[in-house]
Copies of this chain bind each other. A is one copy, B any other.
Amino acid sequence: MKIISTQSDSFKKEFDEILARAKTDIKGVSSIVTQIITEIIEEKNSALKRHIQKFDKWEVKSDEELLISKEDMKKAYENIDENLKSALHTAYDRIKAYHEKQLPKSWIDFEKNGTILGQKVTAVDKAGLYIPGGKAAYPSSLLMNAIPAIVAGVEEIVVCTPTPNNEVNELLLAACHICNISKAFKVGGASAIAAMAYGTQTIPKVDVITGPGNIFVATAKKLVFGEVNIDMIAGPSEIGILSDSTAKPKYLAIDLLSQAEHDEMASSIMITIDENIAKQTSIEVENYLKTLSRSEIARKSIDERGAIIVASSMDEACELMNEIAPEHLEVMTTNPFDLLSKIKHAGAIFLGENTPEPIGDYIAGPNHTLPTGSTAKFYSPLNVENFMKKSSIINFSSQAIDELGEACAILADTEGLTAHAESVRVRLKKDN
């Protein structure tokens, strides 16, 4: 694995390459996706069926065939191995408990003059979850997208997933059963996003669409943003690790590889203040690469997009890591909590040697849907608030408008809005 030093002449150039890591560039597919969306808006179910025939290679004979029955979900659940069932329930319970802690509260506040101001928090009415299908069907994605919506109190949660050759992934169905999903549809890709954004005869129009997907799904999400809300536009997975001399190279290596195995475009970057740790980790990466089932993907990712940076201090390491703003950040140092105030930008922060990143993918509780490609500088992990929204509450007393009305009217006058000013002043004339 490539080792670079912050002291080398070429460091700035090499670091810029790391910063410019894979982002989702939608230009290439924008026109195709726009066409797909237009067809769904105009033809609804009949376009959906045509797209399924084309992309998923099966013929939908009736609208009812688009729906996955609750009975199928239950059957799938009953058929899975007991250990797996138990693991899924543990994951469900822990994810739910964490997201319950995120729930924002409505509040009101009282002023002496009788004014009441507040903020009402409400769940959206309908949420649409997109879950990839076929080989990349991850039951964990269903849990991570459904549970925040459930905790938020969304009344109708809809799932869309592609079913190549009309085959549904059984694990996904089992996860749907655990989350008590009432409506799941065999629809994938940009068509599914468009269907949930605009509605068809079968698929309800939702308010929020979340969930991972390929470039077509990501592009469709961006294009329907505004018609519905979306969570974020996710790119390839990433890990950043901060380490010092106390970290175990074997742990560091397998953690770097756990992102690299996702995708050739994945990015695994360690910044360490110990040159020896850098070297040992690189050796352990090579050892592990011989044993992994997905080693071909992992090797390409490590070779082309991986790097170990040797920094001259932990302050410098933190600064660089904040610039990278990785999706996942592991802190493998003597006192990981000490660095928490210096870490400004990361999707999820994994502290200490007992907290490998995959713990967060499945079972810890926090969401695994996280901002990639430096967008942790401004996006949050998927959370209950993605499925909620706020309304301001304003109640002025008679005294309050007497005290503040004229100032308000002056500002309205200044902006040339006479009806605004009059709507306040008419209330100041006590002979109304």
Chain A residues proximal to chain B, CB less than 8 Å:
24, 83-84, 86-88, 90-91, 94, 98, 101-102, 104, 107, 109, 115-117, 119-120, 122, 124-125, 138-140, 171, 207-208, 222, 225-226, 228-229, 232-233, 248, 250-251, 254-255, 257-258, 260-262, 288, 292-294, 298, 336-337, 340, 343-367, 370-371, 375-381, 383, 385, 389-398, 400-401, 404-405, 407-408, 410-412, 414-424, 426-427, 432
| CA gap between A33 and B120 in the complex, in Å | 36
A251-B426, A258-B417 given. 8 additional CB < 8 A pairs? A115-B364, A226-B375, A254-B422, A336-B395, A349-B393, A350-B394, A351-B395, A354-B401
* Interchain CB contact under 8 A, A392 and B360: yes
Partner of A389, one of B83, B377, B395, B415: B377
* Interchain CB contact under 8 A, A378 and B418: no
| CA gap between A102 and B400 in the complex, in Å | 22
* Interchain CB contact under 8 A, A294 and B233: no
* Interchain CB contact under 8 A, A364 and B117: yes
Q: Separation in Å of the A320 CB from the closest CB of chain B?
A: 15
Q: Separation in Å of the A251 CB from the closest CB of chain B?
A: 7
Given A222-B226, A226-B375, A250-B426, the answer on whether A391 and B347 have CB atoms closer than 8 Å is: yes
Q: Separation in Å of the A246 CB from the closest CB of chain B?
A: 13
Instruction: Give every chain B residue within 8 A of A257 (Cβ-Cβ).
Output: 419, 423
Q: Separation in Å of the A18 CB from the closest CB of chain B?
A: 17
* Interchain CB contact under 8 A, A379 and B375: no
* Interchain CB contact under 8 A, A87 and B411: yes
Instruction: Give every chain B residue within 8 A of A377 (Cβ-Cβ).
Output: 124-125, 207, 389
* Interchain CB contact under 8 A, A340 and B120: yes
Number of copies: 2
* Interchain CB contact under 8 A, A349 and B120: yes
* Interchain CB contact under 8 A, A367 and B392: yes
Can you show 7 pairs from A to B with CB atoms below 8 A apart?
Answer: A86-B407, A87-B410, A294-B417, A352-B396, A354-B427, A366-B393, A367-B392
| CA gap between A73 and B276 in the complex, in Å | 55
| CA gap between A424 and B358 in the complex, in Å | 7
| CA gap between A196 and B143 in the complex, in Å | 37
Interface centre among A208, A232, A408, A432 (most CB of B within 10 A): A408
Q: Separation in Å of the A365 CB from the closest CB of chain B?
A: 5
Of chain B, the residue at the smallest CB distance from A259 is: B419
| CA gap between A341 and B67 in the complex, in Å | 34
* Interchain CB contact under 8 A, A261 and B292: no
* Interchain CB contact under 8 A, B117 and A294: no
* Interchain CB contact under 8 A, B408 and A359: yes
* Interchain CB contact under 8 A, B360 and A394: yes
Top 7 nearest A-B pairs (CB, nearest first) are A366-B392, A87-B407, A348-B392, A380-B390, A358-B420, A351-B395, A229-B378
Instruction: Give every chain B residue within 8 A of A262 (Cβ-Cβ).
Output: 417
* Interchain CB contact under 8 A, B378 and A420: no
Of chain B, the residue at the smallest CB distance from A83 is: B410
Instruction: Give every chain B residue within 8 A of A357 (Cβ-Cβ).
Output: 423
Partner of A140, one of B349, B363, B415: B415
Given A251-B427, A254-B423, A407-B91, the answer on whether A412 and B380 have CB atoms closer than 8 Å is: no
Q: Separation in Å of the A255 CB from the closest CB of chain B?
A: 5
* Interchain CB contact under 8 A, B226 and A24: yes
* Interchain CB contact under 8 A, A258 and B419: yes
Instruction: Give every chain B residue within 8 A of A414 (Cβ-Cβ).
Output: 84, 139, 171
* Interchain CB contact under 8 A, A423 and B356: yes
| CA gap between A98 and B110 in the complex, in Å | 11
Q: Separation in Å of the A404 CB from the closest CB of chain B?
A: 5
* Interchain CB contact under 8 A, B344 and A122: yes
* Interchain CB contact under 8 A, A351 and B393: yes
* Interchain CB contact under 8 A, B294 and A400: no
Instruction: Give every chain B residue within 8 A of A116 (Cβ-Cβ).
Output: 351
* Interchain CB contact under 8 A, B396 and A355: yes
| CA gap between A94 and B258 in the complex, in Å | 50
* Interchain CB contact under 8 A, A391 and B378: no
* Interchain CB contact under 8 A, B389 and A254: no
* Interchain CB contact under 8 A, A233 and B226: yes
